[in-house]
A and B are shown apart, each in its own frame.
Chain A
Amino acid sequence: MSNFSARVPVNLLQATNAALATLGHGGNNFTVPAYAGPTASYALLHAWGDPAFEANVAAQPGVVILSGDDPIATTSAVATGAGTEWGADALPLEGIVTPGLYRDGLNVLWYVIQTYDTATWPDPALVPALVRRAKIPGEALPWVQPLDQFDAYKLVNPFTGEADLCTHNGETWYVTQADGAGNNIWEPGVFGWTVVGAEPLDYVTYNSDPVFYESQGVTYG
């Protein structure tokens, strides 16, 4: 029986999912994020029982397929082949941790950047130089101040093809403006974020500071 897992680099994800949709397999077949850092760099899938689907997945540029009986083990193997890990591979964020994917007691995924002792630094949110939250594409989690482009929020997330989401001050927000590289490092309500369901504000920047148009009643917001 056809029983396989596959991976595709994130930069080819949208095109791959679109091609499979055109072939009648539905949208967003690759949905499982795989990490070699705080942001997913590959997308994975597992499927079974359909040789025609397997052939169409295998035919997509950049896709690597691995067959196996155990869906979880096969998915881990295809992720490992690209130097990545997915959620099922994440170990408990306990003791001395080395670079890789971990899961805390609340089942939040973290990516350890440098080896450290969790007994010394029990709250991973306080040591971003050592560990950062592994972002789950499409999930709205509490906003965290990005430190650099690697954990900035994206105007167009290459994984989802949509704007990044977060929750902040009791609202769910999505990115509506970003810098030239598509990154948003500002706090929701300051620049480039819009509450889900609301119309985007026409923010502009002036001397690198975010401001509102005067027509919206606020300047130098």
Chain B
Amino acid sequence: MLQNILSILQKSVAAAWSPSQLFASGEQGVWYDPSDLTTMFTGLGNNGSSPLQPIGTVADQPIRSILDKSKGLLPTGSELISNGDFSGGTTGWTSVVTASVAVVSGELNITTSSAYGHAGQAITTVAGLAYTCTCTYRRISGTGTVYVEANTLINGGVALGNTPQSSSSSATTTTFTFIAQGTSTTIFAIATGSGDVIGLDNVSVKLLTGTPAVAPNDAARPLLSARVNLLVGTATLSTQSVTVVAAPHTIQFTGGGTVTASGAYSGALTSGQTFTTTAGSLTLTVSGTVTNAQLQIGPTATTYQDVVTASNYTATGFPAYLKFDGVNSKLATNSIAFTTDEMSNFVGIFKFGSATVQISYETSNEAAGNNGTFNLVADTLTTYAVAARGTTARVVTGTITSVTPKVVTTLIDISAPSQVLRIDTVATTSTLSLGTGNFGNWPLYIGMRNPNVFPFTGNLYGVIIRNASTSGATLTSAEQWVAAKTGVTLP
């Protein structure tokens, strides 16, 4: 009884703990949290007319960019917009040929002569970093809508982020985020209607703290999901075929009917049965009434997830993750200026690809080939490995016995030397020399080795990388936090 109470108390403490504490003293690093929908975009910023939808209410959505929460996502640095309150008239603001501008009562009025006339200002940005724009806008007259956008160009560029569209004459104040793609970004207000007059005021743009991870293109986007159950129409199951990977799977169901498998596995299935499929199509033939059915990867039947369709399923209570396709899914960051020789990584991860080498994340183009680097490799279905290098590369490998989500922690100290790989808190340790020096100023690649080799097949529930040592209660709290986000119960 006492043990249970202590366990509950530990989990309560862990629940109150936040990874932000890992960075409270200015530690360098990143924290990507797929459970926080406010930090992810299908494109390169907020899409005001098509924002990210709650998981399970639409088809799973591809993620182009995810913000780094390690520094609190705070506006920082100097104001990047000049004359954002238009106290200087129209100075600094440019209209394209389909619009003219004037300042009326301290507000920029943009009068369009054709649809999508607009006016804006180019600001200096750094490609790959996130910015926040706050602005007030309205439609003064006309029939169309108005919105404010960050774009690579004043005309004909790529939209990065924008506000919701408004047709109201009452002013709307909104904040949106975008990831810059070059040294210049344009902020503009745009009217969809020809002859419309729109108003813009109090425009501000600032850099956001942190280092976003961004897919280089739309094909490279991982998928945001919380699906555990591979079946559809699970409340009352009907015969169906699903695509499976070569791995153990477990089925559970209620009701008096029977389920018989064919294709990637053959045989009658009983509820709670674990069976290993080949890669391919698995057909489940249902006879009689089969209810609350769930097929999942792994050797354990977990909480039943109701799935009506692929775009309508229960996501509440199920961990959110980014799914990497094992082909070309990849996120990349700008270089991160690591400065010390100690590194702590905490990752919620579920691999189910059988390729011999899969890079789940890595700094530089090859951790073993560059000084001051590290990675996490998912080798086959049975091991994880962490490579690290001061000036000498070392690999520490840990074995897993079940294909299930894991909490993988790596603790590296170049000068000690020490290299620890913890899988669900079970540690494998090396004290072999890693050479000398600190972790260096390298980009972080998630999902494969840069440029495009060793793709990862599996899910990431969160990635925390901290350029400092972590031990004791802080280590326990960090692992418990990741475990909760991953649906893992640690020993």
| Contacts from A to B (Cβ < 8 Å) | 1-2, 5, 20-21, 24-32, 44-50, 53, 57, 68-73, 75, 87-88, 103, 107, 136, 138-139
Contacts and interface: CB of A to CB of B under 8 A. Distances in A.
B245 A139 contact: no
A46 B217 contact: no
A47 B452 contact: no
Given A26-B216, A32-B327, A50-B62, A72 B457 contact: yes
Contacts of B396: none
Contacts of B353: 72
B454 A29 contact: no
Contacts of B310: 1
Determine which residue in B215, B223, B245 has the highest number of CB atoms from chain A within 10 A of its CB, and name it: B223
Interface string B212-229: 000111111101000000
Given A24-B159, A48-B325, A72-B326, A29 B453 contact: no
B280 interface: yes
A167 to B, nearest CB: 10
Interface of B: 42, 59-62, 64, 158-159, 215-221, 223, 242-243, 245, 279-280, 310-311, 325-328, 353, 355-357, 451-454, 457
A85 B355 CA distance: 15
Contacts of B61: 49
B216 A73 contact: no
Determine which residue in B242, B311, B326, B328 has the highest number of CB atoms from chain A within 10 A of its CB, and name it: B328
A138 B452 contact: yes
User: What 4 pairs between A and B have smallest CB-CB spacing?
Assistant: A26-B217, A69-B243, A71-B325, A49-B62
Given A1-B310, A26-B216, A48 B243 contact: no
Determine which residue in A26, A50, A69, A87 has the highest number of CB atoms from chain B within 10 A of its CB, and name it: A26
B218 A47 contact: yes
Contacts of B326: 71-72, 88
18 contacts: A1-B310, A26-B64, A28-B217, A29-B218, A45-B219, A46-B327, A46-B328, A47-B221, A49-B60, A50-B62, A50-B218, A50-B221, A53-B218, A72-B279, A72-B326, A72-B457, A88-B327, A138-B452
A23 to B, nearest CB: 9
A106 to B, nearest CB: 10
Nearest to B323: A48
B328 A31 contact: yes
Contacts of A1: 59-60, 310-311
